[in-house]
Structure 1
Amino acid sequence: MQQIINRQSKAYVTWGLLAITIGVFLVETFSGGSKNINTLIMLGAKTNGLVQEGQWWRLITPIFLHIGVFHIFMNGFTLLYVGQILEPMIGHWRFFIIYIVSGIMGNLASLAFGANNAISAGASTSLFGMFAAFIAIAYIYRENRFLTELGKSFLGLIVINLLMDLTMSGIDIWGHVGGAIGGLLIGYALGLPKINRPKMILRILAIVLVVVISYFMYVKGMIVYG
C-alpha cells in the first residue's frame, strides 16, 4: 500500500494550480485591485444574478480568484501543503478532477443556498474538497492505519473550519459544505491508482450522486432567485 501511495512523488498539478492562482492574483492587482468589486466581477467572481443570466463560467472562475493578500496567502499555502500530500497519493489527473469538481460543487451550493447579492471568490471550495477526499480514501482503506489517521485529521480540520465559519461574517459556508461533499464523493469514486476498491457499482453510484446533487443545486439556484 505505501509503495502505491508514493508512486507519483512530484506534485506537478499542485504547483501548476498555484502558479495559475498567483498569476490571476497579479492580474487582479494590476487591473484595479484584488478587493475592487468591479475588478472581481470583470475577472469572473460569482454573483448569483450573473449566473442566473447565463454566465455559467462563474461557477468555475471564482476558484482562481482571491480577495486580498491574506486570502491568497492562506489558500495558496493550504493548496501547496495539502496538495503535496494528496496528489502523490492519488495521482495527477485524479487530484485535478477532485480540485475542479469540488470547486464547482461548492459554487453551486453557494448559488443554491447562499446570499443572492454576495460576491464569491477563492479556492476554499476546492480546498474543502481536498480535505474531504482524504476522508473518503481513509474509509475505503480503513485497515491502513496511516490513511485512517490522516482521514481523522482532515475530518477534524473540516469540522473546526465549519465551526469557525459560523462565527465569522463574509464567509461562504455553503461553498465550503458543497466543496466538501464534492470532494468526498469524487474521492470515493476515484480511490487510489491500481487498487480495485471500492466496487465499480459503488464508484458509479458516487458519480451519479455528484451529478444529481449538482443538478439539484443548479436548478434550485436558478429558480429561488430567478
Structure 2
Amino acid sequence: MFTRTESFREFIRLYPAVSIIILIHLLLYIMTALPILPSLQIFELLSGVNLYIAEGEYWRLVTPIFVHSGFPHVLFNSFSIVLFGPALEQILGKFKFLTVYLAAGICANLATFLLEPLTYMHVGASGAIFGLFGYYIAMSIFRKDLLTKENSQLIITIAAIGVAMTFIQENINVTAHIFGLLAGFLAGRLTLPRL
C-alpha cells in the first residue's frame, strides 16, 4: 500500500492529485530559490504571516501549504506525500483526496492564525500531511476493512512518531501539526461511509 513500484509515467497517470501537489511544491520552490529579486517577493507574498491575514490577506490561509523554507523542507514534505498520498487518493478519488488535503491544511493554518501571535510566520505542507495521517487513523478505527492490520499499525506508529517529533524538533509549527491531524481525523469520521 505504501510501497511505490510504478514508473514515473504510471505514477502521474494513477495519482494525478498527488502529482499536481508535488509539481506545485517544486515549481514554487524553484521560483523562490532562484537568486533573483522577485523570488523573495513570491515567498513573502505566499507565506503565512498572521499579521497580514488579520489585515485581510486571507489567501495566506491556503498558499503556505505549497511554499517551503528550503530544499530539505520541500524534499521531506514531498517525499511524505509520495509515500502516503497515493493510497488515499486511490481510495477516495482525486477530488475527495484534494478536498481532504486542502481542508486539513487550511484548518491547520487557521488554527495557527487563531492561536499564534500576530508576528508568527509559517510555511509548509505539514499540516495537510498530518491531515492525511488523521484520515488514515479514522479509517483504522471506523473502517477497518479499508486497511490491513499491518498498514493500520504502520500509520498509527508513523503518526505517533510524527507527533512526538513535533514537540522535539525546533522551528516546527506545533499548532499546524496537531490541528491538521485533528482535521483529517474529523474529515474521516464525517465522510467515511458506514458499513
- What band does the TM-score fall into relative to the shorter chain? 0.7 to 0.9
Partner of 1:24: 28
Identify unmatched segments of 5+ residues in structure 2: 1-12
Q: Aligned-pair distance for 1:154?
A: 1.9
2:38 matches 1:41: no
CA separation in 2, counterparts of 1:146 and 1:83? Answer: 14
User: Is the Cα–Cα contact under 8 Å of residues 65 and 122 in structure 1 kept in the other structure?
Assistant: yes
Report the secondary structure of 1:117's partner residue.
Answer: coil
Which residue does the alignment assign to 1:224?
Answer: none
Q: Which residue in 2 is equivalent to 1:101?
A: 103
Which segments of 5 or more consecutive residues in structure 1 lack a partner in the other structure? 1-8, 199-226
Q: Counterpart of 1:84?
A: 86
CA contact (8 A) 2:31 2:42 kept: no
Q: Structure 1 residues 59, 97: CA separation in 2 closer, same or farther (over 3 Å shift)?
A: same
- Hey, what does 1:166 align to over in structure 2? 167
1:10 is matched with which residue: 11, 14, 38?
14
Q: Deviations over 1:138-187 (max 9, x none)?
A: 22223x38444433322222221222121222110100111111111112
Q: Distance in 2 between matches of 1:159 and 1:114?
A: 23
- Runs of at least 4 residues off by over 4 Å: 31-34
My pick for the range that moved more, 71-80 or 161-170, is 161-170
**Residue number in structure 1 paired with 2:5:** none
When structure 1 is superposed on structure 2, of 53-62 and 154-163 the one drifting more is 154-163
Provide the C-alpha distance between the structure 1 equivalents of 2:168 and 2:37, rounded to a whole number of angstroms.
30
Per-residue CA distance 1:65-104 (angstroms, 9 max, x = gap):
0000000000011111111221112211111011100000
The one-letter code sitting in structure 1 at the alignment partner of 2:28 is V
Task: Give a deviation string over 1:28-50, Cα, whole Å, max 9, x none.
Answer: 1235597x5x55222x1011101
CA distance in structure 1 between the aligned counterparts of 2:84 and 2:182, rounded to whole angstroms: 18
What whole-Å deviation, never above 9, does each CA across 1:183-210 have from its counterpart, x for those lacking one?
A: 111122222xxxx416xxxxxxxxxxxx
**d(CA) in 1 for partners of 2:51 and 2:146?**
47
How many pairs were matched up?
182
Instruction: Give the TM-score of the pair, scaled to structure 1.
Output: 0.74
Q: Which residue does 2:194 correspond to in 1?
A: 197
- Counterpart code for 2:49: T
Point out the more displaced range, 46-55 or 21-30: 21-30
What TM-score do the two structures reach when normalised by structure 2? 0.85
2:174, 2:151 → 1: CA distance?
23
Match of 2:72? 70
Secondary structure at the aligned position of 1:65 is classed as: coil
For 2:17 and 2:32, the matched residues in 1 are separated by 22
1:143-162, aligned counterparts within 5 Å? 144=145, 146-162=147-163
Letter aligned with residue 159 of structure 1: A
Q: Which moved more, 1:145-154 or 1:45-54?
A: 145-154
Q: Provide the rounded CA distance (Å) in 1 between the counterparts of 2:160 and 2:147.
A: 20
Determine if contact 1:127/1:179 at 8 Å carries over to the other structure. Answer: yes
Alpha-carbon distance between aligned partners in 2 of 1:120 and 1:41, rounded to the nearest angstrom:
11
Aligned-residue CA RMSD in angstroms?
A: 2.1
